[in-house]
Amino acid sequence: MSDLPRKAVTRTAKLAALPLGFAGRATWGLGKRIVGESAEIVGRELQQRTAEQLFKVLGELKGGAMKFGQALSVFESALPEEVAGPYRVALTKLQEAAPPMPTRTVHAVLTERLGPDWRELFEEFEDKPAAAASIGQVHRAVWHDGREVAVKVQYPGAGEALLSDLIQLGRFARLLGPLIPGVDIKPLITELRDRVSEELDYGLEAAAQTAHAQEFASDPDVVVPAVVHQCEQVLVTEWIDGIPLSEIIADGTPEQRDRAGQLLARFLFSGPARTGLLHADPHPGNFRLLPGGPQGEDDWRLGVLDFGTVDRLPGGLPTPIGISLRMTLDGDAETVYELLCEEGFVKESIELDPDAVLDYLLPIIEPARVDAFTFTRSWMRSQAARIADPRSPAYQLGKQLNLPPAYLLIHRVTLSTIGVLCQLGATVRLREELESWLPGFFLPDEPEESADPAETDDAAEAEELLEEELTEESAAEA
């Protein structure tokens, strides 16, 4: 029996209560204004109370509610600190865990999918889940060949819950918008909904994880656990220990933060070039820091989990991204604008000032302008405020830009990764990773112009005459 919770009406009631709560707080806010408190203070209190209720409800549910919460959690850095602080703990919980499903339900799924003798496949199996996520939970076990494994078991009815939640959330996306400045909630929910079938298919996930595990098998920096067994609703992979990235965000040393940030950027940019796949769920719960990097036990590697959502990019990340980024750094407004028009970021019916577009983009790509950039929550907040403030020119220009469907997931992954880097407060050599892995970004130094053949012949002839003269002088002296 499903634990998502048991009745769909229960889930719907919890989610439907959110907009009612928002409306009630709006009335409360109006009352505060009447008695003289400033709009700014009231606005912050409203945002804080709304966020606390939202993440409390999302944290109590699995399915699409938790998926949406995890997707939002990486944008926490964009919120004002006085608002973000009180519910950062709730966000961390969303990244790492959810209420477990009953042991009897787990056993029933394993019996149905692996057969009545499923226990013979394992030397040991822990009934208590090691982690829980939006559509399944993970149990630690020992495979029959002695390997430590992670057994991911999908919640019964996960697909229905996922779709139901996201449809319900989509109905009041407009009310959620003010929670995360600069992030358009409705396309985010739509994109999550479009990915439901892929995420439920453990066969696709196993194939994506196997491709990464094989490619990164000998990589000194990145560890991807191999797939051991897969069937419908059950995925068995090698187990990896390590420190969850959420713990590094909370209590990590500066060295751990910087190393985690560098490796996260390296993995996400190198993955498409090496595998043709982009890991599209970069929230902290999917990453671990493992000891034993290239510099020894005191160094760190990045462990990567959960390949249920990937973007298939056979040629790697689109070359126009790299060219546009390079031309933006070079200040070539006309070329950047032409590329954006060709790729559909500027619709044919709209005409924009290329210099204004360049001014809009430059602050966003600031991390690529220097050899090393320190990502901070304050930087993220300043970018979000610039883009989300209706009074700013950046807001007005941003509303006129278009995001082509082919770039939607790439855009979300990039924003999410930047959000995690800001949560880490990591100093990252981002430009180095872009030059290594982003097609079109790296422009090698132009080779020196070869000498004219005629000039080369003249130089050789002059050299021969000089040698003859020196020889004659030496003979005369002798």
Inside any domain, residue 190: no
Q: Report yes or no: 228 and 237 within 8 Å, Cβ to Cβ.
A: yes
Please tell me which residue, 460 or 304, carries the higher pLDDT value.
304
Asked whether residue 49 is domain-assigned, the answer is: no
State the amino acid at position 285 in one-letter form: G
Quick check: 8 and 160 in contact, CB under 8 A? yes
In a domain, 148, yes or no: no
- Are 167 and 148 within 8 A, CB to CB? no
307 contacts 208 by C-beta, under 8 angstroms:
yes
CA distances (Å), origin 329, targets 233, 320, 365, 442 = 47, 14, 8, 12
Number of domains in the chain: 1
Q: How confident is the model at residue 10 (pLDDT cuts 50, 70, 90)?
A: low
Q: Rounded CA gap, 160 and 118, in Å?
A: 27
pLDDT exceeds 60 at position 7:
no
Statement: residue 401 has pLDDT above 50: yes
Out of 68-72, 87-91, 204-208, least confident range? 87-91
On whether residue 231 sits in a domain, the answer given is no
Structure-token match 């990591």, residue found: 426
Q: How confident is the model at residue 58 (pLDDT cuts 50, 70, 90)?
A: low
The pair of structure tokens assigned to 461 is: 């002839």
Contacts of 124 (CB under 8 A, 6+ apart): 141, 142
456 pLDDT band (50/70/90 cuts)? very low
Instruction: Tell me the pLDDT tens digit for each residue of 214-270.
Output: 999 999 999 999 999 999 999 999 999 999 998 999 999 999 999 999 999 999 999
Q: How is residue 275 written in tokens?
A: 């595998």
Over residues 36-40, the mean pLDDT reads 39
Q: Which helix (H) or strand (E) holds 153?
A: strand 148-154
* pLDDT for 174: 63
- Within a domain: residue 402? yes
Q: Which two tokens stand for residue 209?
A: 């994880």
Most confident by average pLDDT, 47-61, 173-187, 453-467? 173-187
pLDDT of the residue at 208: 97
Domain, as residue range, for 423: 319-437
Could you give the CA distance from residue 95 to residue 416 in angstroms, rounded to a whole number?
13
For 337-387, write each residue's pLDDT tens digit: 999 999 999 988 899 999 999 999 998 899 999 999 999 988 988 888 888
Angle subtended at Cα 271 by Cα 269 and Cα 273, rounded to the nearest 5 degrees:
85
The residue whose two tokens read 């004002």 is: 80
Question: Is 194 a member of any domain?
Answer: no
Rounded Cα distance between 286 and 222, Å, is 13
Does residue 413 form part of some domain? yes
Residue 74 has pLDDT above 80, yes or no: no
112 — phi, psi (to 5°)? -70, -40
Residue 335 within any structural domain of the chain: yes
Is the pLDDT confidence value at 283 over 60? Answer: yes
**Average pLDDT over the chain, rounded to whole?**
78
